[in-house]
Homo-oligomer: A and B are copies of this chain.
């Protein structure tokens, strides 16, 4: 996956996604001017549409016509459902039977067939559907076309702020962080790219320090409020991360909640906890980061309204 793949992806998904603006933050530390990249403003509320449109758009027409399958309970589910509808093809989304009703409903509203299964059977059910339907599996992060799609964010950052010095990006499965890293480093070789994750799901930091993927049990990763950051990198994404990241930092649960509040009150953006970790890193971990012109990627905004109300009232 190279910058050329990202440029191809950008061409392919233009018209299907929002080229989000860089929003300057007046309240930033003057030594570290800050811009927010609000991917929560994509149609389904998260960056995942970029990868989904690229992966589905790249299929040859006959393969695409047989439809797509994905397994996800989060933003990837809605992204694939939405992109499939825009292509006029069927989508089957496999979700754990414990998925909150609202997420199931949202995915169905995009026209997808939702298949609810016990959580342990997600992958096998998805693969069985692929077999039976002749459909194509669209993975959440572990695929070059997905990584290239998310990488278009890095391309836009490099085009819109050529003298950027630091990019902060959430990391979980690593598709977003590795795609952005490749895009930014190609256009701005002197810019640093740091990934940010919750302490409670700090597997990537540990993996990065050891130089190989360290498995964290899912029940450990599930402790964080940032439900979008409970995956861990694959061998593919981790290999990219080692090449393009300058560091990985972790943030506390309180720092995440505080950043959700700051985004709402000072940037007028509704962010989900996963979407706020990059700002949490900027605000609370300056000592672990290079100074200079900084972009923080706000990756998504699908937060439970009750949680947002709680954070605002605190």
Query: Which residues does A use to contact B, with CB under 8 Å?
Result: 18-21, 23-26, 38, 40-41, 43-45, 82, 110, 261, 264-265, 267-271, 301-302, 305-306, 308-310, 312-313
Complexed CA–CA distance, A32 and B312 (Å)? 33
Q: Once the chains bind, are A268 and B82 in contact (CB under 8 Å)?
A: no
Complexed CA–CA distance, A19 and B20 (Å)? 10
Complexed CA–CA distance, A45 and B263 (Å)? 12
9 A-B contact pairs sorted by A residue (CB < 8 Å): A18-B23, A18-B24, A23-B43, A26-B82, A38-B41, A305-B312, A309-B312, A309-B313, A312-B312
Q: Once the chains bind, are A312 and B308 in contact (CB under 8 Å)?
A: yes
Q: Once the chains bind, are B44 and A23 in contact (CB under 8 Å)?
A: no
Most chain B CB atoms below 10 A, which of A44, A302, A310, A312: A312
Q: Once the chains bind, are A268 and B41 in contact (CB under 8 Å)?
A: yes
State the Cβ distance, A288 to closest chain B Cβ, in Å: 27
Most chain B CB atoms below 10 A, which of A18, A44, A45, A270: A270
State the Cβ distance, A139 to closest chain B Cβ, in Å: 23
Residue of B nearest to A312 (CB): B309
State the Cβ distance, A81 to closest chain B Cβ, in Å: 11
Interface residue from B26, B265, B267, B270 paired with A264 (Cβ < 8 Å): B270
Q: With a CB–CB cut-off of 8 A, which chain B residues contact A24?
A: 18, 43
Q: Once the chains bind, are A306 and B301 in contact (CB under 8 Å)?
A: no
Q: With a CB–CB cut-off of 8 A, which chain B residues contact A269?
A: 41, 268-270
Q: With a CB–CB cut-off of 8 A, which chain B residues contact A19?
A: 21
Beyond the given A45-B268, A269-B270, A308-B312, please list 6 additional residue pairs across the A-B interface where CB-CB is below 8 A.
Answer: A21-B21, A23-B43, A38-B41, A261-B305, A268-B271, A309-B309
Complexed CA–CA distance, A82 and B310 (Å)? 31
Q: Once the chains bind, are A305 and B41 in contact (CB under 8 Å)?
A: no
State the Cβ distance, A88 to closest chain B Cβ, in Å: 15
Q: With a CB–CB cut-off of 8 A, which chain B residues contact A305?
A: 261, 264-265, 312-313
Complexed CA–CA distance, A269 and B271 (Å)? 9
State the Cβ distance, A169 to closest chain B Cβ, in Å: 18
Q: Once the chains bind, are B21 and A268 in contact (CB under 8 Å)?
A: no
Residue of B nearest to A270 (CB): B268
Complexed CA–CA distance, A264 and B309 (Å)? 11
State the Cβ distance, A192 to closest chain B Cβ, in Å: 25
Known contacts A306-B312, A312-B305, A21 near B23 by CB under 8 Å: no
Complexed CA–CA distance, A141 and B271 (Å)? 33
Complexed CA–CA distance, A40 and B266 (Å)? 11
Complexed CA–CA distance, A40 and B265 (Å)? 11
State the Cβ distance, A172 to closest chain B Cβ, in Å: 19
